[in-house]
Amino acid sequence: MVVIPAVSPLPSTVAPAVVARPFLKWAGGKGRLIGQYEPYFPASCHTYYEPFVGGGAVFFHLAPRMQRAVLGDINPELVNVYRWVRDAPKALMAKLEFHKRHHSPDYYYAIRRQHHLPLPLDRAARLIYLNKTCYNGLYRENSQGQFNVPIGRYNNPGICDPDLLWAASAALQRAQIVELPFTDILHQPLTPEDCVYFDPPYHPISPTSHFTHYSRYGFGPADQERLAQVFRQLAERGVRVMLSNSDCEFIRRLYDGFPIYSIQASRMINTNVERRGKISELLITSYAVAR
Ligand SMILES: C[S@@+](CC[C@H](N)C(=O)[O-])C[C@H]1O[C@@H](n2cnc3c(N)ncnc32)[C@H](O)[C@@H]1O
């Protein structure tokens, strides 16, 4: 694991100009669902754990209500980006400004070919640059772990947004960022004052859905079963746990006995345009929600 020294990039007198929100587009991002999720969030939380952080939409939304956070993901490149945004946003922005000045289709594909950059800062800037300029903001890798999404059609992609990055950096100051599989949460010192939000790769609802195919980290039925066991173990310890997943019998059965709510989501990651539209997803909590 790459260890980046923690530095304090924000003078305490500087308040971020915008509210923190995701600085990456991420498949399955929860930005559009936050309004529907709001009634189900715990009112307070000492330490917030999000072991499948992805774009971190729920973390950024809840950040003002928590004392500290532990954010995890199995994707080392994503973890690397979060650490640079937290610890050295200025250095990252300088790299992004360079990408912004040089952006063109040829430049995009030249950067995309740089699969093994040695410097973690260059890798972080490359991931943000490709994420902002690629087709649909999709993170997809081939079997060798190489990012392989074509360029998107944007007139003016937001490659470097300083306000957004400063706000994200401020929100991340109280976050520990770990490159670990979700099962590691069982080794964390959780108490009933803490909360956990699980947003795993969704269980596919049809043989043609590609929800679990956007990275080399597959997530099959055995992983869903293991996750449900972890959810139960945490619930038994009195921790408030929340989980999102697709609406299907398999998932409903795994969480039988817990409150299960239907949420209406728009499906964006579907290559077949005709099949994009409203779809029911599940939100499952380990605690009763007063509504
Ligand atoms: C659906 S995305 C999370 C979306 C995110 N919560 C958001 O709002 O943008 C799932 C994430 O889980 C990560 N992941 C996949 N398998 C994992 C595992 N076994 N342990 C931890 N993270 C995993 C992926 O790298 C991906 O970033």
CATH number assigned to the domain comprising residue 117? 3.40.50.150
pLDDT at 6 over 60: no
- Whole-number pLDDT of residue 4: 37
- Whole-number pLDDT of residue 159: 95
> Are 54 and 73 spatial neighbours (Cβ–Cβ below 8 Å)?
yes
Q: What is the pLDDT of residues 23-35, one digit of tens each?
A: 999 888 899 999 9
Q: How many CB atoms lie within 10 A of CB 115?
A: 14
| Residue 1 is assigned to a structural domain of this protein | no
Nearest CA residue ID for atom 7, ligand 1: 29
pLDDT at 5 over 50: no
Query: What pLDDT band is residue 273 in, cutting at 50, 70 and 90?
Result: low
pLDDT-above-70 percentage for the chain: 87
- Whole-number pLDDT of residue 3: 38
| Residue 12 is assigned to a structural domain of this protein | no
Q: Is 276 left (phi over 0), alpha (psi -120 to 50) or beta?
A: beta
User: CB of 120 closer than 6 A to ligand 1?
Assistant: no
Interacting residues of 5 by C-beta distance below 8 A, sequence separation 6+: 87
Query: What pLDDT band is residue 269 in, cutting at 50, 70 and 90?
Result: low
pLDDT at 14 over 90: no
Q: What is the pLDDT of residues 48-69, one digit of tens each?
A: 999 999 999 999 999 999 999 9
pLDDT at 258 over 80: yes
| Residue 118 is assigned to a structural domain of this protein | yes
User: CB of 60 closer than 6 A to ligand 1?
Assistant: no
Q: How many CB atoms lie within 10 A of CB 162?
A: 14
User: CB of 57 closer than 6 A to ligand 1?
Assistant: yes
> Are 24 and 137 spatial neighbours (Cβ–Cβ below 8 Å)?
yes
Q: How many CB atoms lie within 10 A of CB 50?
A: 25
- Rounded average pLDDT over 79-104: 97
Please provide the average confidence, as pLDDT, over all residues in the chain.
89
pLDDT at 99 over 90: yes
Q: Give the Å distances, CA to CA, from 16 to 6, 45, 87, 174, 242.
A: 19, 23, 15, 15, 29
| Residue 18 is assigned to a structural domain of this protein | no
- Whole-number pLDDT of residue 10: 44
Question: Total domain count for the chain?
Answer: 1
Nearest CA residue ID for atom 5, ligand 1: 54
> Are 132 and 159 spatial neighbours (Cβ–Cβ below 8 Å)?
yes
- Whole-number pLDDT of residue 210: 53
Burial class (CB in 10 A: 0-12, 13-18, 19+), 257: exposed
Query: Cα of 93 to ligand 1 centre, how many Å?
Result: 25
User: CB of 219 closer than 6 A to ligand 1?
Assistant: yes
Domain hosting 185: range is 31-285
Which of the two residues, 56 and 12, has the higher pLDDT score? 56
- Whole-number pLDDT of residue 137: 81
pLDDT at 145 over 60: yes
Query: Cα of 256 to ligand 1 centre, how many Å?
Result: 23
Q: Give the Å distances, CA to CA, from 188 to 236, 239, 243.
A: 15, 12, 18
User: CB of 73 closer than 6 A to ligand 1?
Assistant: yes
Interacting residues of 35 by C-beta distance below 8 A, sequence separation 6+: none
User: CB of 201 closer than 6 A to ligand 1?
Assistant: yes
| Residue 193 is assigned to a structural domain of this protein | yes
- Rounded average pLDDT over 228-253: 97
- Rounded average pLDDT over 75-92: 97
pLDDT at 79 over 50: yes
Cα 159-105-89 angle, rounded to 5 deg: 20
Burial class (CB in 10 A: 0-12, 13-18, 19+), 253: exposed
Cα 209-211-215 angle, rounded to 5 deg: 130
pLDDT at 207 over 70: no
| Residue 7 is assigned to a structural domain of this protein | no
DSSP line for 225-257: HHHHHHHHHHHHTT-EEEEEEE-SHHHHHHTTT
Tokens found for residue 83: 């650490």
pLDDT at 11 over 70: no
| Residue 182 is assigned to a structural domain of this protein | yes
Grouping H, G, I as helix, E, B as strand and the rest as coil, residue 79 is helix
Tokens found for residue 31: 């930005």
- Rounded average pLDDT over 128-132: 96
| Residue 10 is assigned to a structural domain of this protein | no
Q: Give the Å distances, CA to CA, from 248 to 126, 231, 280.
A: 37, 18, 9
- Rounded average pLDDT over 266-283: 72
Pocket test for ligand 1, best of 60, 73, 227, 282 (most atoms within 8 A of CB): 73
Tokens found for residue 61: 């939304």
User: CB of 75 closer than 6 A to ligand 1?
Assistant: yes
Q: How many CB atoms lie within 10 A of CB 70?
A: 21
pLDDT at 228 over 90: yes
Q: Give the Å distances, CA to CA, from 79 to 5, 128, 243.
A: 14, 12, 21
